[in-house]
Amino acid sequence: MLGTVAALRRYPVKSMLGEDVDAGDVTFTGLAGDRQLAVVSRTTGKIASAKFPRLWRDLLTLSAAAADDPAADGAVRITLPEGKIVWSSDAGVDAILSGLLDEPVTLTATPVPGAALDRAVPEAVLRDGVDAQVPAELMEIGGGGPPGTFVDFAPLHLLTTSTLDRIAELSPHGRADLARYRPNIVIRTAATGFTENDWLERILRVGDDLVLRVIARTPRCAVPTLAHGPLPRDPDALRVLARHNRVEPLDSLDPEPCAGVYAEVLRPGRIRTGDQVRLA
């Protein structure tokens, strides 16, 4: 018994703020409604991601919520910084997003084969700031999941309350903001420290049906340091991990600042807040 599901979050548009849900269906591609859309640059053809903050950090001023009403036909509600609401199905949504981001973009539900994004080197962003020209790596998305999704690597991202508590303990301001780390499943546990580090290749059983396998520790990019809606910029959200939890995401990779784990879905099922989580 590891603990219980404390929170469920989905992000209907990649790199925008997301929403809490009480329950959801989990398939082989992840939590229903998660990363169902993405913004794509019409200049480069790459996915717009706040991992490259110089161009795309303003995505985190927008929030997205999936419409569960079947009549909405998969439309997503996007709340703009001043509170105005647009829908992903609106004819003018691309023009509105292009104006806000100051780049020509298209909102799409269809990832192309080999879809990729720019990931700025996190240490360079910490050193030089979010407006600086910094080195970036080209990152093909979805390497640990089924094709045809907009997830960074795997269908699900898990984070424990013990990791959040440890970040808060080590942070100069004594706080760890859950929203900065963008998990799908938050697990409340009595363990201490960065406990997920020990879960690599382990099987998790969630509730009555859902079975997951942990396939990687989650390397952190510059995103946690950025302003998230009303949350201000916080470089310590990454610095703490760089100093205190620099580990190998996978056994064959170089150490990186990590928090949480990625998981694949072995058996789909329904997940609810309060579900028990067991380590097999």
- What's the mean pLDDT when you consider all of the chain? 96
Residue 104 φ/ψ, nearest 5 degrees: -75, 120
Nearest partner of 5 among 29, 23, 19, judged by Cα? 23
Residues near 232 by beta carbon (within 8 Å), at least 6 away in sequence: none
pLDDT, greater one: 19 or 71: 19
Whole-model pTM? 0.96
- 3-state class of 252 per DSSP? coil
pLDDT tens digits, one per residue of 62-98: 999 998 765 567 899 999 999 999 999 999 999 999 9
Residues near 126 by beta carbon (within 8 Å), at least 6 away in sequence: 222, 225, 235, 238, 239, 242
Which range marks the domain in which residue 168 is found?
Answer: 3-279
Rounded mean pLDDT, 37-57: 97
> In the structure encoding, which two tokens stand for residue 122, read together?
């996190």
Nearest partner of 60 among 14, 118, 121, 107, judged by Cα? 14
Rounded mean pLDDT, 25-40: 96
CATH number where 219 lies: 2.40.33.20
How far apart, in Å, are the Cα atoms of 58 and each of 80, 145, 230? Answer: 10, 27, 12
Residue with the two structure tokens 């600042």: 257
The answer to whether residues 145 and 30 touch, using CB atoms and an 8 Å cutoff, is yes
Rounded mean pLDDT, 124-140: 95
The answer to whether residues 35 and 11 touch, using CB atoms and an 8 Å cutoff, is yes
Measured at the CA of 97, the angle between CA 95 and CA 98, to 5 degrees, comes to: 60
Q: What is the pLDDT of residue 51?
A: 98
Q: What is the pLDDT of residue 251?
A: 86
Integer Cα distance of 113 and 15 in angstroms: 20
What is residue 198's DSSP assignment?
G
Q: What is the pLDDT of residue 148?
A: 85
pLDDT of 138 > 80? The answer is yes
Residue with the two structure tokens 């509105």: 96
Pairing of strands 116-120, 203-206: unpaired
> In the structure encoding, which two tokens stand for residue 64, read together?
């997205």
Q: What is the pLDDT of residue 60?
A: 98
pLDDT tens digits, one per residue of 206-242: 999 999 999 999 999 999 999 999 999 999 999 999 9
Q: What is the pLDDT of residue 252?
A: 84
- 3-state class of 96 per DSSP? helix
Name the domain count of the chain: 1
* % of the chain beyond a pLDDT of 90: 92
Q: What is the pLDDT of residue 264?
A: 98
Tell me the DSSP string of 158-182.
EEEHHHHHHHHHHSTTS---HHHH-
Q: What is the pLDDT of residue 147?
A: 87
Integer Cα distance of 152 and 50 in angstroms: 12
